[in-house]
Structure 1
Amino acid sequence: MTLEKTPLAGCVLIQPHVFKDQRGSFFESFNQQKFAQLYGKSVHFVQDNQSISSYGTLRGLHFQQGEYAQAKLVRVISGKVLDVVVDVRKDSPSFGQHHSVELSGENNLQIFIPKGFAHGFVGLSEKVIFEYKCDAYYQPSAEAGIRFDDPDLNIDWKIPSEDMILSAKDQKLPLFNQLEL
């Protein structure tokens, strides 16, 4: 695996080494020892989540606060998404900045999102199977988020707004400047 820094402090892209032959392909989707060696510190994941979405489904921007903050390792098993992370750490040099990357079942890219980031994605293919690991358990009382169409963040989701499918809860999330961090 190789790690590539993003413009957001601590957030990295991971490219696993994919082995292909006449049978198909194989890769390690995560190796704790290699990650710690490349990243400089380890992470202990305790929960895996999977979602299935269709084109235009936008999930986010979500994060957990306080002692329940979560670091995540996200990837697409099948299909394609635009994955977006927003740094919500007040003491970070990249506070309030966002980064987006296309993740797909074909490029096998993953993104490691440290604690203190909001995260979301939108389906760019007909069907998406999305998986992510978390280093803390989900706690409903610690749930927070930012509206996907926040004018200060000005995120280009790469699809027309009329094609977006959002939950009622995501449509009511606060703007970035309304967050209580």
Structure 2
Amino acid sequence: MIDFQAICRVGVYTLGENDVVESHHSHAMEEKIGVLLLNLGGPETLKDVQPFLYNLFADPDIIQLPGLFKLLQWPLAKLTSVLRAPKSEKGYAAIGGGSPLRKITDEQANALRMALEAKNVNVSVYVGMRYWYPFTEEVIEQIKLDRIKKLVVLPLYPQFSISTTGRD
């Protein structure tokens, strides 16, 4: 099982047998290198706002409930996302109907790929989002299908939080 919390930190990783992720800092990279840009994600349309908010609020790293209250995580996420969606939809409507984060992250990935290829680096660059498409788990599956063995993970989250560092 892949520990997605562990790979949300900058590093070079080897995707090993049984999906075990091993961290190392080797500079000998003869085979194709994968670079995974991680970001928060965001609704691409106004219709996506409520499900995006649900994904965000359902994350125990975002809303940490103590003890037995943890059982309320998903119902609370549903209620919060439904109540918050109308206000958030207005905000997203004001900036064009959705978050620009996916487009910006895709542009960064393409620029990075072109820069590395210009230096003759054999690379595939991927984009994974924590709370919207393409979800990190889906992207990791594609990375495995592409037989990438060396993976550089770059979180692009702009803030220090438990969801990006694994620490309070």
TM-score by length of 1: 0.21
More strand by share: 1
Higher relative contact order (CA 8 A, sep 6+): 2
More helix by share: 2
